[in-house]
Structure 1
Amino acid sequence: MLNAVPLMIVPFILYNLAMLGLMGGGGLPSLHNDLFVLSMISGAIWSMSLGDLFIVVALVVLFFEILRATLNSRGSLANHMLSMLVFIAFLVEFLLVQDAATQVFFILLTIALIDVVGGFAVSISSAGRDVSIGL
């Protein structure tokens, strides 16, 4: 049953914790604060904010979700349905919650949409290869 839990819930929960101010700082301004700054060999300064880290986490989660979509297991249909619910939660929060109307949240919403569409596409494609019509 744990296989059915969509991993995109992780960035959703992390963003909401940041929005509530539970990740340090005072709510959403913490999304723009630099977590770390590195001096590159070229002399350029590279920094990563909390919002950037959320996007990186969501992309890594998307990779694992697409990998999981290639497996035909008992929980894959439930995973797809729950991924759709996570996407709907992203969409509703983006439209109705003022603090969710940010670029970071919109990118997370888009990644959740790609997760849903990509998961269904990969599952349908792999299921089509599994079905053999008698010859």
Structure 2
Amino acid sequence: MASFPLLAIVVFLYSAFALTAPGWLEAVQFSLPLLSGNGLPFRGGDVLLVLGLVLLCVEVYRATSSSKGAVLNHVLSLVVFIIALIELLVMRQMANMTFFLIMLMTASDVIAGFTVTISSSRRDWQRE
């Protein structure tokens, strides 16, 4: 479980909703009341974006580990990014800004994971 890329959950959920219940992604799911008296509406796609940002933070934290599971996580994160990129380019239901931002999150996960791992391993190697 430690090597499972968490952003795969968001890519899977968005894909599933886009293919089976596209109306959910566009419909307002709830509204967050603000002090101004207005409400901040959250559509289904917005909810998935927020979930993706939270999971991206967790993934960046997990990237600081230098275990064998972390390397597998980076490879699987790269696979998730490639799948998301292909979906964006090929599938009509994914050709929107919300999924584009989710795909960018997967790219950020890959870049952050490899960068953190390389810099921490370089630091460990210099100490020896």
Bin the TM-score by the shorter chain: over 0.9
Structure with greater proportional helix content: 2
1:27-53 Cα shifts (integer Å, max 9, x gaps): 223211111123322122211111001
Name the CA distance, whole Å, in 2 between partners of 1:39 and 1:76: 39
**Between 86-95 and 3-12, the greater mean CA deviation after superposition:** 3-12
SS at match of 2:31: strand
How far 1:133 moved relative to its partner?
A: 5.5
> Which residues of 2 match residues 11-90 of structure 1 at below 5 A?
11-21=10-20, 27-90=21-84
Report whether the alignment pairs 1:100 with 2:94. yes
- In the comparison of the two structures, how many residue pairs are matched? 128
CA RMSD of aligned residues (A): 1.3
Name the CA distance, whole Å, in 1 between partners of 2:41 and 2:65: 37
Q: What is the TM-score normalised by the length of structure 2?
A: 0.93
- Counting aligned pairs with the same residue, the percent is 35
How far 1:18 moved relative to its partner?
A: 0.6
1:8-42 Cα shifts (integer Å, max 9, x gaps): 11101110121122xxxxx2232111111233221
Q: What is the TM-score normalised by the length of structure 1?
A: 0.89
Name the CA distance, whole Å, in 2 between partners of 1:55 and 1:45: 18
Name the CA distance, whole Å, in 2 between partners of 1:38 and 1:92: 34
Q: Which runs of 5+ in 2 are unaligned?
A: none
**4+ aligned runs moved over 4 Å, structure 1:** none
SS at match of 1:38: strand
Radius of gyration: which is bigger?
1
Name the CA distance, whole Å, in 2 between partners of 1:83 and 1:40: 36
Name the CA distance, whole Å, in 2 between partners of 1:65 and 1:133: 26
How far 1:60 moved relative to its partner?
A: 0.7
Question: Which position in structure 1 is the counterpart of 2:8?
Answer: 9
Contact 2:74 2:113 in 1 (8 A): yes
**Structure 2 residue corresponding to 1:113, chosen from 82, 107, 119:** 107
Name the CA distance, whole Å, in 2 between partners of 1:94 and 1:77: 26
Q: Which runs of 5+ in 1 are unaligned?
A: 22-26
